[in-house]
A and B are shown apart, each in its own frame.
Chain A
Amino acid sequence: MSRKARKLARGVAIVGAGMSKFGAFPDKNSRDLFVEAFIEMTKSVDKGIDIKDIEALYVGNFSSDLFEGQGHVGPIMADWVGLVPRPVTRVEGACASGGISIRDGFIGIVSGLYDIVLVSGVEKMTYLPTERVTDTLAAAADNIYEGCPGFTFPGLYAAMATAYMAKYGATLEDFMRVGIKNHKNGALNPKAQFNKSIKDLMNARIEKTKQKGEPLPAWKDEFDFLKDPQANPTVAWPMKLFDCSPITDGAACLLLVAEDLAKNFTDKPIYIIGSGHGSDHALHEREDMTTIQSARVAAKEAYEMAGVTPQDIQIAEVHDCFTIAELVATEDVGFFKPGGAIKATKEGLTAREGAKPINTSGGLKSKGHPVGASGVGQVLEIWHQMRGTAGPRQVPGKDIRLALSHNVGATGGTCVVHIYERR
């Protein structure tokens, strides 16, 4: 099935961006997180924004219904930031809810219906105990045919990992490298849930053991630490604790405006020049379980719209809900050939200093994964990297003019890809 490439009726720019801190906050619910992100966004608009000028809102949210017993979150978020009676739409695409919110706001502007739109995502996950979070996330899979025999969400990605290991010879160390890299980046991100490298976490554990006067663990490096089942227990083999993104509370939002209005808000807008969105079958129904069709379809649409190639992209935030997911993602968006992400990661190409820096924010792995907010949170990193405001984690030696975000829902039932340009 193919669709002809479209030309946009008009362009769209990001002129403001904000996010709450990502983490576990017993004293904050979804609206508190949303307000935190919104206030940061209003302050980020260089020439200011009159809130009354925002014409519509899109809110990405997977399941406040199950996570905090709150359905219909759209108008609540609109009300808490003073935007009632503007139209608000809650969008749900599991972990890609945020990405779809960007896409829908983008369409709203391209169509000419709106000039100024707030796109956002929010998720409050930590009220529930782990097993209930596991149930809720599993609801994003096919509950009749995947959930029923006992598949969990990490379990489905773990199954994907075994297929990837069988096909390309990946090892547990290859998965660990992704986590080590992303935690190293996250250590430089003050908004990250775990802003510590795995080496930091390992040393903290050694220090604690010392203080207790217990025998010291014999870890020579991060790999030893990650291979120790006491330090890094299995969640769903081969995915261990440090292969999985954490359970997170957080919110993020972007202010999108029609391209011709962008300079009224900032001299440094970031243009969205490509947008793609696709779907896929349940994992068992895929011919090849080591690639995600929705991501390939979304990437193709976005590249064609933008008129650029994977080689042109300088940095990317991809959906690393699990370490295996980052390897698959970087292949699906065309950075590496199938199976090629193993070697690319091993050789440091995807490191912050590498040729193709991936997840300089720390990724979902270290920054945290408030599912409905993650797709928008990714763009915060791109916003900062492209405007040169990423602080200590600013990618060295690159003038970033083209970037990409890749946001997956569940095991790929949904994927949204966006391409960004700084002119």
Chain B
Amino acid sequence: MTEERKITSTSFYQFLAEKKLMASRCKKCQALYLPPHPICIKCHGSDMEWVEMKGNGKLAAFTAISVGPTCTIAEGYNRNNPYLVGIVKMDEGPKICARIHGIDPKNPEKIKVGTPVKVEFMEHKEDARNYLVFQTA
């Protein structure tokens, strides 16, 4: 019963583990939020519902990171092995940060804003960092 879950980041990541990308929608003004907001920041209503995203979007901004934080260094990334993160604009409207797969991070000058991407659900691991990934469509 997805509707009963509280609109929190914990719920968002639980849904992600269940291979669902969930946004919140204000029942009063229909504004859509991804990541989910518990209070509508447009009309300040707090009667929100969960909405599942279809998972399709476009790359609105991106970067290939060569100097990472300790968590991505632990994943094996470094100056010679950069990784790609981006901000994806969903077809439904809202934008969200995600790891981007399917594009070579070593040739960032070839990457175009506007590239179509599709959500890719990672195999969820209890003892690991789990994050949102998009793959080129």
Contact = CB atoms under 8 A, between A and B. Distances in A.
Of the four ranges (under 10, 10 to 19, 20 to 34, 35 or more), the interface on chain A belongs to: 35 or more
A236 B65 contact: yes
A159 B59 CA distance: 10
Secondary structure at the A interface, as helix, strand, loop or mixed, is helix
Contact of B69 (A131, A159, A166, A283): A131
A135 B108 contact: no
Given A145-B97, A284-B95, A150 B61 contact: no
B29 interface: no
Interface string A256-298: 0000000000000000000000000101110001000000000
A137 to B, nearest CB: 9
A129 to B, nearest CB: 9
Q: Which of A134, A162, A165 has the most CB of B within 10 A?
A: A162
Contact of A238 (B71, B87, B95, B108): B108
B66 A144 contact: no
A237 B108 contact: yes
B51 interface: no
Contacts of B79: 233-234
B48 interface: no
A165 B68 CA distance: 23
Interface in B81-121: 82-83, 85-87, 94-99, 108-109, 112-114
Contacts of B112: 166
A159 B61 contact: yes
B66 A134 contact: no
Interface string A123-153: 0000000111011001000001111111110
Contacts, number: 119
A159 B68 contact: no
Contacts of B86: 159
B8 to A, nearest CB: 10
Secondary structure at the B interface, as helix, strand, loop or mixed, is mixed
Interface residues of B, number: 38
B9 A135 contact: no
Interface in A89-108: none
Given A132-B70, A148-B129, A160 B61 contact: yes
A341 interface: no
Q: Which of A134, A148, A281 has the most CB of B within 10 A?
A: A148
B108 A163 contact: no
Nearest to B114: A166
A154 B97 contact: no
Interface string B38-77: 0001000000000000000000111111111111110000
A236 B64 contact: yes
A159 B114 contact: no
A289 B61 contact: yes
Contact of B85 (A150, A160, A163, A165): A150
A235 interface: yes
Contacts of B41: 281
Contacts of A155: 63, 65, 85
Contact of B68 (A131, A145, A160): A131
A291 to B, nearest CB: 13
Interface in B6-21: 9
A16 to B, nearest CB: 39
Contacts of A15: none
A236 B114 contact: no
A162 B85 contact: no
Contact of A149 (B9, B67, B98, B108): B98
Interface of A: 130-132, 134-135, 138, 144-152, 154-156, 158-163, 165-166, 233-239, 281, 283-285, 289
Interface of B: 9, 35, 41, 60-73, 79, 82-83, 85-87, 94-99, 108-109, 112-114, 129, 131-133
7 contacts: A135-B69, A150-B72, A152-B69, A159-B85, A162-B113, A236-B65, A238-B63
